[in-house]
Every structure is written in structure tokens, then in C-alpha cells.
Amino acid sequence: MAAVTATARATPADPVAPPPRIAGHGTSEAEWRAAGWLDALPRWNIRTLLGDARRLVVVAPHPDDEVLGAGGLIAAAAALGLPVWILALTDGEACYPDAPSLPPAMLARMRRAELDVALNRLGVQSGGVEHFRLPDGMLRHEGAALVGRIHRLLQPHDLIATTWARDGHPDHEAAAAAVAEATTCTGCRRLEFPVWGWHWSHADGRDMPRERMGRLDLDRGLLARKLWAMRAFRSQTGRGIDVDAPILPDRVLARFRRSFEVFVR
Ligand SMILES: [Zn+2]
């Protein structure tokens, strides 16, 4: 997910776009529950989502985004025997820039290891992750090189999931833009999932593309796997290291403990 206080651009094509901000405590999960519109979203079951996909490829800006936004989808696909591949664009090494005891190289190692544990808990086969090791916080500068690298790894009939194009974090939006440009293979389809969008968007859904959203309901087994995988990110939850302000405190994790995941297509 990665720490940031950023202002993302509203695109000219979207006149209602607010200035997304990732600051403060954001919209609480209690507010999302009370709003009700998430309950009314179309149900997309796993077969509908996967369609004729031959692989699920999840492109994650930081280790944890794939689990927070799509851990249930990943676990469900893996349980059906579909090959799952994670493209980890950065190691999230810039998450604690003010912690001298946690230098970036150490954080990168920790977060790669946490990701391996999390993916194993979701049922992803070992080796199912490609580490790009691009600089955390700087994906918007990767341009055509990132597009080309993703493009070369895609195959016909891949289902590609990544962070929402207007998620409010520069890396998340850069990942979405690169994936959109790279997904030109025959029969490939694309899904996006909010991560930081659940923080800054209004609970009434005015900031989100509601007409293009649907939800994947997670049964108890899938949800349990997702929660187990989320607990692997100890550097982010603050349970494994000594930091004053972990990236994923309980109020943030609450948004990802839902018994459903929301996708944009
Ligand atoms: Zn992230």
C-alpha cells in the first residue's frame, strides 16, 4: 500500500473527479457499511469473473495491495486450479522513510518475504511472483519501459487485475495506466480494485465508478484465507516491527476484512 500524502490528478475526461487525498483517518468501514450502496452492487461470482481466463495475473504496486484488494479472488482462482501470477512492481521499500532502524534494503527483503508467505497462504504456488524491483513511489516515471515489461509477460486469455486507475496513490494509478496500455493480448481482460480509494472516497460512492463496479462475495473459507494472508504483512501492521505509525492499523485493515471484494471493469 505504501505511505504517502499525495494529491493525484483528476483527469479532464472525468469532470466530477475530486482531488483525492490520502491523509488523516479517511472514510471508516462503519461509514461504508452504513451507506448501503455496496450491498446493492451486482454480484459477480468467481466463474463470471474468470470467464475463459487461462491465468490470473495480479499487478501490485506494493507487496500487500494484491492481498488487500484481491486476496479473495486470488484464493478462489487458485482453488479452482487456475495458474495465478503476481507481478510485484516494487518491494515497498520506502514505507518508513523516517525510521533509521528500517533502511530500505532491509524493508525490501522483509516485504518480499512477507509477500511469499501471504501468497502461500492464498494457495498460490511457490514461484508465482515476479519481482520487478522498481523504485517505490516512482512508478509514474517508468513510462513505456514499464508498459513494455508487463506486455511481454502477458499471454492470450489472461485476466489481469490491478489497482484502480483513480486510487489516489501515484504508484497505484501508474500501475493501472501501465496495465491498461499493456493489455493488448488476444482475449485478455482487465479488472481494477480500489485500495486507497476506500480511504479518501466519500461513503456515498460519488467518487467511484459505481456503474462499472461489482462484488465478489467471499465464503467463510475464502475470507479466512484472505485474513490469514493479510496477517503475513507484519511490517505493515506493526506487529513485527517497532514503528510509531504502521501503514496498516486496524482502522485501515477493517476496510479489507469485508466478506466481499469490489472490482471495476
Ligand atoms: Zn500500495
Q: For 172-192, how does the pLDDT look when each residue is reduced to its tens digit (9 = 90+)? A: 999 999 999 999 988 899 999
Residue 161: closest CA among 171, 141, 175: 175
Q: What's the gap in Å between 204 CA and the centre of ligand 1?
A: 23
Strand-pair partners of 190? 160
Q: Contact 117/86 with Cβ under 8 angstroms?
A: no
**Following DSSP, what letter does each residue of 18-47 receive, concatenated?**
---B--SS-S-HHHHHHH-TTTTSPB--HH
What percentage of the chain exceeds 70 in pLDDT? 92
Q: What's the gap in Å between 247 CA and the centre of ligand 1?
A: 10
What percentage of the chain exceeds 90 in pLDDT? 84
Q: What's the gap in Å between 253 CA and the centre of ligand 1?
A: 13
Q: What's the gap in Å between 132 CA and the centre of ligand 1?
A: 15
Q: What's the gap in Å between 146 CA and the centre of ligand 1?
A: 17
> Model confidence at 160, in pLDDT bands (50, 70, 90)?
very high
How many Å apart are CA 189 and CA 173, to the nearest integer? 18
Domains observed in the chain:
47-264 (3.40.50.10320)
Higher pLDDT among residues 158 and 187, named by residue:
158
Q: Does an H or E element contain 216, and which?
A: strand 213-217
Q: What's the gap in Å between 195 CA and the centre of ligand 1?
A: 7
Q: What's the gap in Å between 238 CA and the centre of ligand 1?
A: 16
∠ Cα 135 229 218 (to 5°): 115
**Residue 11 pLDDT greater than 60, yes or no:** no
> Model confidence at 196, in pLDDT bands (50, 70, 90)?
very high
Q: What's the gap in Å between 137 CA and the centre of ligand 1?
A: 9
**Residue 7 pLDDT greater than 80, yes or no:** no
Residue 3: closest CA among 113, 127, 96: 96
**Residue 129 pLDDT greater than 70, yes or no:** yes
